[in-house]
């Protein structure tokens, strides 16, 4: 899109020109491929924004949405009960298992994270623990873009703009494995910092610790050491603090329905979902909670929060069809198997590209860390290597997602998280094209 129209125009008119000059104008999609208005095709390396789990054009959710729209277009969840809501909550709860019997549906990840905080706050007040107001999150981290979620994000640059307005959570270091002495040492630092932060604030004032069990864009698919999960669960239990997993990005994609399922001894109290739940067909988020907590609150004042589009019939029908497709096509196992293959192929790139310092992730939530030299040095604040790779990737038919947080202070990476339907041959194609894009980006960045 060149030039600015007098009126209207794409959403990208709002974003920094420096990052939107060359955005492709996408006109259609097919499987893992997107096509622009010149006929150029791109492999969708980041599944849109890490959500197109079924790829483009799957008929099942499309049919389910249109049938639902014909039968019952809309009915509000505050003055009616409807079947698609019950069906989707049932499917999610069945896949999530014990401890997550109740499902509160919303329209995205930020909204669902806010629901988690508001739910916990109402529960604390109802339980006579009204002093619990403080939230703890990691630096870096990402939990969303609403004013409350901005306060939770581990984003050092947000405070200058929103500091006087948003309520900022207490930050502790994320358990970043790259550059750490060891993954276990990094986990130990975070667990100790959580304990110290709660002690400092006063355990009776802390509401929750919210964390991504596998990192997303904010850490480049950081996978904490298993000791992290047991450790934070123990600390939260000791202080009566709720443990919340933000699984907006990790659910399904990490090779389990919940990343939490890999750590049964450290089950979180609440889980938040979004992205792949609607898989691009409908805006959907969800808060998963234990029946005992929800029912106890409902027997009293209740959790009476809802947005107009929460659990709307068409989005619920889409969600049901997406989850049915995930089950029928065995996409959770596919994410694990294909992810292991793609990760091994990315390792071969790391061995030869001077720009790639680390390959990490779980299932099809992977990332390559971009470094300046063999010692793994970070790039300076004025160079955005992931955006450079995005530009070069586009010339090689790859659509990459680049969104820098913290101006590279914790490192730079490109998240590799294609649709879960990607074939082994398409993985090979992705890697071959990425290899060439990395060569070009290295020429530009490592001159």
Q: How many CA atoms lie within 13 A of 387 on its CB side?
A: 18
Question: Is the Cβ of residue 249 or residue 320 nearer to ligand PMP in the bound state?
Answer: 249
Nearer to ligand PMP, 248 or 430 (CB): 248
Q: Which is nearer to ligand PMP, 109 or 361 (CB)?
A: 109
Minimum CB distance to ligand PMP, residue 238 (Å):
26
Q: CA 424 to CA 427: how far, in whole Å?
A: 5
Closest separation in Å from C-beta 41 to ligand PMP: 25
Q: Show the beta-strand stretches assigned E in 91-180.
A: 102-106, 134-139, 170-173
395 Cβ neighbours under 8 A, 6+ residues apart: 437, 440
Question: Does residue 144 bind ligand PMP (CB under 6 A)?
Answer: yes
Instruction: Based on the shown chain and the rule CB under 6 A, indicate whether residue 406 belongs to the binding site for ligand PMP.
Output: no
Least distance to ligand PMP from the beta carbon of 67, Å? 26
Q: Which of 1, 51, 59, 10 has the alpha carbon at shortest distance from 30?
A: 59
Q: Residues 21-50: x/- map of binding to ligand PMP (CB under 6 A)?
A: ------------------------------
Give the residue carrying structure tokens 């988020």: 285
Choices 23-31, 76-84, 143-151, 330-338; region in contact with ligand PMP by CB under 6 A: 143-151
Nearer residue to ligand PMP within complex by CB, 144 or 175: 144
Question: Among residues 143 and 256, whose Cβ is nearest to ligand PMP?
Answer: 143
Pseudo-torsion of CA 266, 269, 272, 278, nearest 10°? 90
DSSP output for 374-437: TT-PPPPTT--HHHHHHHHHHHTTEE------GGGTT-EEEEE---TT--HHHHHHHHHHHHHH
* Cβ nearer to ligand PMP, comparing 206 with 214: 214
Contacts with 238 (C-beta within 8 Å, 6 or more apart), sequence order: 195, 203
**Closest distance between ligand PMP and the C-beta of residue 322, in Å?**
15
Whose Cβ is closer to ligand PMP: residue 110's or residue 353's?
A: 110
Pairwise CA distance, residues 70 & 139, whole Å = 46
CB 393 within 8 A of CB 344: no
Encoded tokens for 44: 């969708």
What's the token pair of residue 13?
A: 């008119």
Nearer to ligand PMP, 47 or 93 (CB): 47
Integer Cα distance of 84 and 379 in angstroms:
49
Q: Report, in Å, the least distance between residue 58 CB and ligand PMP.
A: 20
Size of residue set near ligand PMP by CB under 6 A = 15
Q: Is 143 or 433 the residue whose CB approaches ligand PMP more closely? A: 143
Which of 55, 84, 108, 213 lies at the binding interface for ligand PMP (CB under 6 A)? 108
SS3 88: helix
If one asks whether residue 142 binds ligand PMP (CB under 6 A), the answer comes out as: yes
Cβ distance to ligand PMP smaller for residue 106 or 353: 106
246 binds ligand PMP (CB under 6 A): yes
Chain residues 184-223 in contact with ligand PMP, contact rule CB under 6 A: 212, 216-217
Distance (Å, rounded) from C-alpha 216 to C-alpha 360? 11
Cα separation of 377 and 350, whole Å? 15
Would you give the binding string for ligand PMP spanning residues 265-304, x where CB under 6 A is met? ---------x------------------------------
Part in contact with ligand PMP (CB under 6 A); list of ranges 107-115, 117-125, 346-354, 427-435? 107-115
Tokens of 236: 């939260």
Binder among 85, 110, 177, 310 for ligand PMP (CB under 6 A)? 110
Structure-token pair, residue 6: 């007098």
Query: Of all residues in this chain, which one has the CB nearest to ligand PMP in the complex?
Result: 109
CB of 141 to ligand PMP, least distance (A): 8
The span from the CA of 220 to the CA of 415, in Å, is 6
Interaction between residue 58 and ligand PMP (CB under 6 A): no
Structure tokens that stand for 119 in this block: 């739910």
Binding site for ligand PMP (CB under 6 A): 108-110, 113, 142-145, 212, 216-217, 246, 248-249, 274
């Amino acid at each position: 899109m060149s030039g600015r129209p007098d009126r209207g125009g794409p959403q990208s008119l709002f974003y920094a020109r420096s990052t939107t000059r060359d955005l492709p104008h996408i006109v259609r999609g097919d499987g893992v491929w997107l096509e622009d208005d010149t006929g150029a095709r791109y492999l969708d390396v980041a599944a849109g924004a890490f959500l197109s789990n079924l790829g483009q054009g799957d008929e099942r959710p499309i049919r389910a949405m249109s049938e639902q729209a014909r039968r019952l277009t809309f009915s509000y969840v505050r003055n009616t009960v409807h079947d698609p809501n019950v069906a989707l909550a049932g499917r999610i709860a069945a896949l999530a298992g014990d401890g997550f019997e109740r499902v509160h549906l919303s329209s995205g990840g930020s909204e669902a994270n806010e629901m988690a905080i508001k739910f916990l706050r109402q529960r604390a007040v109802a339980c006579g623990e009204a002093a619990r107001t403080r939230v703890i999150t990691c630096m870096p981290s990402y939990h969303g873009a609403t004013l409350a979620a901005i306060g939770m994000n581990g984003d050092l640059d947000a405070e200058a703009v929103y500091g006087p307005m948003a309520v900022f959570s207490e930050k502790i270091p994320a358990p970043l494995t790259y550059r750490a002495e060891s993954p276990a040492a990094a986990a130990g630092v975070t667990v100790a910092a959580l304990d110290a932060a709660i002690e400092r604030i006063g355990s009776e004032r802390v509401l929750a610790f919210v964390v991504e069990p596998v990192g997303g864009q904010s850490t480049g698919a950081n996978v904490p050491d298993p000791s992290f999960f047991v450790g934070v669960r123990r600390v939260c239990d000791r202080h009566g603090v709720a443990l919340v997993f933000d699984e907006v990005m990790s659910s399904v994609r990490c090779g389990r329905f919940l990343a939490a399922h890999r750590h049964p001894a450290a089950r979180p109290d609440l889980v938040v979902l979004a992205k792949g739940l609607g898989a691009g067909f409908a805006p959907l988020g969800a808060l998963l909670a234990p029946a005992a907590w929800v029912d106890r609150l409902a027997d009293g004042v209740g959790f009476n929060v809802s947005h107009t589009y929460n659990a709307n019939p068409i989005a619920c029908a889409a969600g049901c069809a997406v989850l049915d497709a995930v089950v029928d096509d065995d996409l959770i196992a596919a994410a694990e198997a294909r992810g292991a293959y793609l990760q091994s192929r990315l390792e071969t790139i790391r061995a030869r590209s001077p720009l790639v310092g680390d390959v990490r992730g779980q299932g099809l939530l992977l990332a390559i860390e971009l470094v300046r030299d063999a010692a793994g040095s970070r790039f300076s604040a004025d160079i955005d290597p992931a955006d450079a790779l995005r530009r070069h990737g586009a010339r090689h038919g790859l659509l990459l997602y680049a969104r820098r947080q913290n101006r590279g202070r914790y490192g730079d990476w490109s998240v590799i998280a294609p649709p879960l339907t990607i074939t082994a041959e398409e993985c090979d194609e992705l890697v071959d094209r990425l290899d060439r894009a990395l060569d070009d980006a290295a020429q530009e960045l490592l001159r």
